[in-house]
Amino acid sequence: MKKFRNIALIGRKDVVGVPETLAAVCDFLTQHGVNFVVDDETSHFFNSRKSEVVSREDLPRCSDLIIVVGGDGSILNIAPFAAKHNLPVFGINRGQLGFLTDIHPDAIYKIAAILDGHYQEEQRFLLNLKVQDENKRLVSSDTALNDVVISAQQSSKLVEFVLNIDKEYVCDYRADGLIVSTPTGSTAYALSAGGPILHPNLDAITLLPMFSHNLSSRPLVIGGQSKVSVVISKDNRTNLCVHCDGRQSVDVPLGSVVEITQEKFKLLLIHPEEYNYFATLRSKLHWEQ
């Protein structure tokens, strides 16, 4: 396995404990003679420390591994950028669940083995979103590691849409919305909505209608290479929105088409050698109790 000697540090300012853990990681890297830089969105944590601050766009030039201190949301935030630039990502958990951020802040010593090439690596695919109006003009585009969610702007309103997969008609829905999830996102919003847990190695996408008026509606698992097309009915009485990984929503005009496909770039996650996916499920979902 490749050894890492140039590290980029990223931390979320709204997560408790991040400043202390970032400081500890900096001390650890300095003691081990490892070069590191801090992205400009994290630099406010380092006012009293000497550290090179670079823009996020410059990270591929000066780093070969990103260490993220925060929760799963912190990984979601950096995932599209890291995937596009083929930068591996390793997470130290300061959030709630930590399905993507592997080690506890008290186990920073485990970084040493990873830097020396003793780790597991895993690829996770992302979803690409495109919203086109009824005249096929591009309204919005984005990328998601967990999920793409289409819903009404008013939570109490039903929405109507038509689902097509690979240009084949599936059905019409009247529901609160639709969750389109990757295997990574199957333990996030999709799990709360009653969807199945998909192993991250699967090349599959889950479609979950949210509180559908059709009582026979069930989660649908399709191939990861499939093209999902959602046509938004003009008969809707409320405006719709779409968001990727919980980020700020984008308005979806009535009559528009939401297209979701697998992104060509993949996120490379780095795990400690002892990492086990099922052990993570047992711990995070309290299956051992």
Bridge-based pairing of strands 6-11 and 65-70 is parallel
One-letter amino acid at 240 equals L
| Beta-bridge partner residues of 181 | 147, 206
Query: What's the start-to-end Cα distance of the chain, in Å?
Result: 36
Q: Quickly count: other Cβ atoms within 10 Å of residue 163's Cβ.
A: 19
Active site positions, annotated: 72
Q: Report the distance separating Cα 157 and Cα 123, nearest Å.
A: 38
According to DSSP H, which parts of the chain are helical? Answer: 18-31, 59-62, 72-84, 111-115, 189-192, 277-284
**Residue 112 neighbours by CB distance under 10 Å:** 14
